[in-house]
Amino acid sequence: TPAQYELGLNWSLNSQYLLFTSPDNDQYDIFRIDVDTGEITQMTDDPSDDYAPLWINFED
């Protein structure tokens, strides 16, 4: 199994999800993991590397 590198960890405000950057097909993309289920969702998929995922919080 090739080594994986997780960078730029960022928790959601409710601690339900964790964003991270990891290599995928010779580029870095952003992924989200649901900490309760372990389900991983790829959030970006473009030719450039994506780093430093951040949550944006909107309040009234």
Q: Does the pTM exceed 0.75?
A: yes
Structural domain count, the chain:
1
> Domain limits at 55?
1-60
Task: Pick from 25-29, 31-35, 52-56 the range whose average pLDDT is largest.
Answer: 31-35
48-55 average pLDDT score: 90
55-60 long-range CB contacts below 8 Å, 24 or more apart?
55/10, 55/11, 55/12, 55/13, 55/19, 57/13
